[in-house]
């Protein structure tokens, strides 16, 4: 887990250094039990990893500022757990991947988060403060 977190942090710093200002990070939903791919306990590792990965995303701004105050990176975290909760119909049959309905729900949640956090929104939307 730590190797993955370290690699993610290195990626955030590389993106910041390359001029990326915002990154949208969405995390896996809870997946159905006993699927061909997921097995009997597919969510144990996801539940363990979610707060750690969210903390890394939440800390990306401060970490990037320390490396280069002129190139901060904002990471916008979105958990798909609540989006998929109660919707086994969002998954492909016998699989852990979303079907077209699940993909549409993910896209709608991502767009709502982008609007909420004012990511890639036109100034005319009124949500964006001058930088």
CA dist 59 and 130 (Å) reads: 23
CA dist 127 and 117 (Å) reads: 8
CA dist 114 and 121 (Å) reads: 8
Residue pLDDT, tens place only, 40-96: 788 988 999 999 999 999 999 999 999 999 999 999 999 999 999 999 999 998 788
Residue pLDDT, tens place only, 19-53: 999 999 999 999 888 777 777 788 988 999 999 99
CA-atom Rg of the chain in angstroms: 17
Q: Which domains does the chain have, with CATH numbers?
A: 2-115 (3.40.50)
User: Do you know the residue count of the chain?
Assistant: 131
Record the pTM: 0.87
């Amino acid at each position: 887990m730590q190797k993955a977190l370290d690699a993610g942090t290195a990626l955030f710093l590389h993106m910041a250094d390359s001029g990326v200002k915002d990154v949208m990070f969405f995390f896996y939903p809870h997946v159905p039990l006993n699927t061909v791919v997921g097995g009997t306990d597919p969510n144990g590792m996801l539940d363990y990893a979610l707060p750690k990965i969210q903390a890394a995303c939440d800390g990306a701004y401060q970490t990037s500022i320390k490396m280069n105050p002129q190139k901060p990176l904002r990471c916008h975290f979105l958990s798909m757990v609540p989006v998929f909760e109660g919707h086994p119909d969002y998954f492909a049959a016998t699989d852990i991947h979303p079907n077209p309905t699940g993909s549409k729900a993910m896209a709608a949640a991502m767009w709502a988060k982008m609007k909420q956090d004012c990511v890639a929104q036109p100034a005319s939307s009124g949500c964006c403060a001058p930088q």
